[in-house]
Structure 1
Amino acid sequence: MKKILLLLSILVIVKHTNAQSAFTVEKSGQGNPIILLPGFTTPGSVWDQTIKNLEGSYETHAISYAGFNGIDPIGTPWYAPIKEELIDYIRKENMTNLTIIGHSMGGNLATDLAIEFTNELSGLILVESLPCMRDLMMPGVPASSLQYDSPYNNQMLKMPADAFRNVALTMARNMTNQEDKIELLASWSIEADRETYVYGYTDLLKLDQRPMLKDITTKTLILGATFPSREMSQQTFEKQYVNLANKTIELADGSKHFIMFDQPEWLYAQINSYLKKNAQ
């Protein structure tokens, strides 16, 4: 009996030790903490220049997600474990006067964290992020109809490398105006774990955070691009964030989805202005 209990104990320890983390962190600096959350497939290094251009002293935590950029995958579900592990991370680090900056999908995680840490949060910046992508991309389609095992997902999983590369390049061209960044954006998708890419995107499309926005009290800065037009972008952000009372929406002219590539100086100025008012 003792041998059985010992064996079970060893198995538990091994399982815990080998558990794959849902993200990695690049931590630097000193001061009030800032968590920087990238978008889907994107490494935390996308924030490197933003961090270098921060005015003031901050302890920055740049996140990169499992399944992307050479980090081992965690399987499915994908989004929920990242969220839960981020919650644990913030508690473990005892963060207060916290600012969270999220780009695209990172903004969805930032929204979840803002609701979880109302008292600890002093700032929330959402960059090109929507609380319900599905409503924009697939209007009228219920979340319940989206499943991992679907014809579209199976097609994406089986897609040959050259065809997938063409898809990634097409998507990248719609995300930045900078020709020298297109190959980089595409490479993040091409090098991703294919199941994480396919099933993780399903997780994102199922999200609808719009009803939760009423619970966020932190003054929130929403930064968007004017692609395809300023009028369309303004209407989309106002509609999606109608339940968020304490917000400011600013749009970057001449930018697509990756504002940090298309209008970096504008982005730095917006972030620094906000931090001076909310996170000192």
Structure 2
Amino acid sequence: MKKILFTLAALVLINITYGQSAIKVEKQGKGNPILFLPGFTTPGSVWNETIQNLNGTYETHVVTYAGFDGLEPIGTPWYAPIKDELIKYVETENLQNLTVIGHSMGGNLATEIAAHFNDEVSGLILVDAIPCMRELMMPGVPASSLQYDSPYNNRIIEMEADAFAQMAYGMASNMTNTKEKIEEIASWSKIADRETYVYGYTDLLKLDLRPELQNINVNTLILGATFPTKEMTQKTFEQQYANLKNKSIVMADDSKHFIMFDQPEWFYKQVNNYLTEYAQ
């Protein structure tokens, strides 16, 4: 009973310390630490099944971001405070022999953490994440041209709930082949703080972490989805991660963005094999 109360107290303490600003972190277990970073709009609970299928014993730190999953928003800029608080969290918790696993935007944050701490990070897994989304989606467009106050952003801010829900469902349909997960993914966008959703995405489009990759020494596992084609996505990952020295790029067949939903057993195997080799 005392152990249960202590664990609950620890979770409450972490949420009070970090959950009122840019991030909320839930910490559980014992062993070498793993920091789990979800993607844009996605709650930390997306990692529940992955954690349940870990072969080893680890101390897990699961993050959710301000403005999503019912957490209070923090305004703009949005991405930079999240990055700064994550770095502060790793330092405050004194996370040694740390593995960072990030999906999508979480992969961007994982990249930044690995570059910042360098040799102190012993493991890095990037799940369908690319260091410069803008170059893929808007080739040749400079970051300086992207502003919070823009016609597109204003249109999304002012969009009626029904229209936004329809848009969110359409986007979710392109993120997974697993039909029963589409509504869940769409719901994360629908309950998100609207300004965080719009302006936070602008922050993401401004990012270009490709120069930071040369500061990362850890052996990195990059898991990519094969949608729309394996050849196209393989080429994109190779180009985007050209500056990363020690890497393995492995593609998940018949998968869209949420690889952990579309190919769960394959995904767990990839994660566990990597952890066995680098994080024990």
**TM-score bin, normalised by smaller chain:** over 0.9
Amino acid at match of 1:235: K
Number of the residue aligned with 1:12 = none
Alpha carbons 1:168, 1:190 under 8 Å: kept: yes
State the shift of 1:79 in Å: 0.3
Deviations 1:242-278 (A, max 9, x none): 0101000000001000001000111100000001110
- Alignment-derived partner of residue 3 in structure 2: none
Q: Provide, for residues 46-96 of structure 1, a one-character-per-residue CA deviation record: whole Å limited to 9, x for no partner.
A: 000000111111000010000001000000000000000001100110111
| Alpha-carbon shift at residue 20 of structure 1 (Å) | 3.4
CA RMSD of aligned residues (A): 1.4
Distance (whole Å) between structure 2 residues aligned to residue 87 and residue 74 of structure 1: 17
Cα deviation 1:141-193 (Å, max 9, x = unaligned): 10000000111000010001111011100100000001111110000001000
CA distance in 2, matches of 1:213, 1:120: 15
CA distance in 1, matches of 2:124, 2:21: 25
Q: How does 1:174-253 map to 2 (within 5 A)?
A: 174-253=174-253
User: What is the CA deviation profile of residues 5-51 of structure 1, one whole-angstrom value per residue up to 9, with x for unaligned ones?
Assistant: xxxxxxxxxxxx99932111111110000000000000000000000
Whichever residue aligns with residue 276 of structure 1, its letter is T
CA–CA distance in structure 2, aligned partners of residues 168 and 56 of structure 1 = 36
The DSSP-based 3-state class of the residue aligned with 1:119 is helix
The letter of the residue matching 1:238 is: E
Counterparts in 2 of 1:216 and 1:19: CA distance versus 1, 3 Å? closer
Distance 2:119 2:250 in 1: 25
Q: Which residue of 1 aligns with 2:130?
A: 130
2-structure distance, mates of 1:224, 1:18 = 31
Deviation of the 1:98 alpha carbon: 0.2
**Pair member with larger Rg:** 1
Partner of 1:140: 140
| Structure-2 separation of matches of 1:27 and 1:134 | 33
Deviations along 1:83-129, whole A, 9 cap, x unmatched? 00001100110111000000000000000000111132100000000
Contact 1:20 1:74 in 2 (8 A): no
The residue that corresponds to 1:157 in the other structure is 157
Aligned residues: 265
TM norm structure 1: 0.93
Give the distance between the partners of 2:98 and 2:20, measured in 1 at CA.
26
Letter in 2 for 1:138: M
The separation in 1 between residues aligned to 2:251 and 2:43, in whole angstroms, is: 24
**Normalising to structure 2: TM-score of the pair?**
0.93
Give the match for residue 58 of structure 2: 58
Q: Give runs of ≥4 in structure 1 deviating > 2 Å.
A: 17-20
What one-letter code is carried by the residue in structure 2 that aligns with 1:169?
Answer: Y
In the alignment, which residue of structure 1 is the partner of 2:23?
Answer: 23
CA distance in 2, matches of 1:212, 1:185: 30
Return the alpha-carbon distance in structure 2 between the equivalents of residues 28 and 69 of structure 1.
20
Q: 1:69 corresponds to which letter in structure 2?
A: D
Q: Secondary structure at the match of 1:117?
A: helix
> Is the 8 Å Cα contact of residues 119 and 217 (structure 2) preserved in structure 1?
no
CA deviation vs aligned residue, 1:195-224 (integer Å, no higher than 9, x gap): 000000000000000111111000000000
Equivalent residue, structure 2, for 1:168: 168
List gaps (5 residues or longer) in structure 2: 1-16
What secondary structure sits across from 1:36 in the alignment? strand
> Which range is displaced more, 115-124 or 135-144?
115-124
- CA gap 1:203/1:117 in 2 versus in 1, 3 angstroms: same
Letter paired with 1:100: V
Measured in 2, the distance between the counterparts of 1:119 and 1:249 equals: 21
1:71 is matched by which residue type in structure 2? Answer: L
1:271 and 1:119 mapped to 2: Cα distance?
A: 20
Alignment partner, residue 37 of structure 2:
37
What SS does the aligned partner of 2:118 have? coil
Q: Look up the equivalent residue of 1:60 and give its one-letter code.
A: T
- Give unmatched runs, 5+ long, in structure 1: 1-16
